[in-house]
Amino acid sequence: MPLKVTSKDYVVFLKLVAEKIAESKEYITALDSAIGDGDHWVNINKGFQALVNKAEILEEQSISEMFKTIGMTLMAAVGGSSGLLYGSAYLAASRITKNIEYLDIDSIYMVLESMSDEIMSRGKAEVGQKTMVDCIFPSVKAFRNAIDQQLSIPDLTNMVIQTAINGANNTLEMPAMKGRAYYQQDKGIGHLDPGAVTMSYQIVILMELINKITETQ
């Protein structure tokens, strides 16, 4: 049976991410204090808490409406670059999911690709500049390869998870070329990019949930 991810399932994902972010306060704050202004955890935590508060509304919406509400909520609730980048990413996802009743593997791929493209164009960022792009872009590529190779869902999700984690880890030695880290004397070399790390949490949790849903369907 093909994968079927509903708005209700996506809200489960949002709640799991909110929990993971909430418990990573010290770690993410330390990362952004080393290379930025220290507020990335506050920003992203505020955003996901705002989404959890809207869980009941989101669950009842179509996929496209839900992504639109998520995007608007993040834009309104989250300060900093990440609010605008995630907000625009979800609005892009809303635009490409019109008329879709539920998400399957191909549409989840399309959603992630549209988000990655939108973040890169909004942020004018490319791979290798020590941002969240270094996590999402290679993950989308790995997803594409996995679909092309017709991998099973466990293999596909595993491949994307490994790529997301490696992508975040690869920011360690990169000199920053975007965002606040660019203005640090050491360009953040030797520190992970906080936005890449929180992006990896989201991609890992989404892939784990897809796997779990596949097992029960």
Q: Which residues contact Mg ion (rule: CB under 5 A)?
A: 32, 36-37, 39-40
User: Alpha carbon of 10 to those of 16, 48, 112, 133, 198: distances in Å?
Assistant: 10, 13, 13, 22, 18
Per-position x/- string for 87-126, each x denoting binding to ligand ADP as judged by CB under 6 A, each - no binding: --------------------------------x---xxx-
Q: Which is nearer to ligand ADP, 99 or 124 (CB)?
A: 124
Extract the tokens encoding 189.
């070399």
Q: Does 209 engage in binding with ligand ADP (CB under 6 A)?
A: no
The residues, ordered by sequence, that sit 6+ positions from 113 with a Cβ below 8 Å of its Cβ are: 140, 143, 144
Q: Does 196 engage in binding with ligand ADP (CB under 6 A)?
A: yes
Taking CB under 6 A as the binding criterion, the range among 56-64, 80-88, 161-169, 208-216 that sits at the site for ligand ADP is: 80-88
* Closest-approach residue to Mg ion (CB): 36
Q: What Rg do the C-alpha atoms of the chain give, in angstroms?
A: 16
How many CA within 13 A on the CB side of residue 213? 22
Closest to 116 (Cα-Cα) out of 101, 138, 100: 138
Least Å distance, CB 167 to ligand ADP, is 11
Which residues sit at the interface with ligand ADP, rule CB under 6 A? 32, 36-37, 39-40, 43, 80-82, 85, 119, 123-125, 131-133, 178-180, 193-196
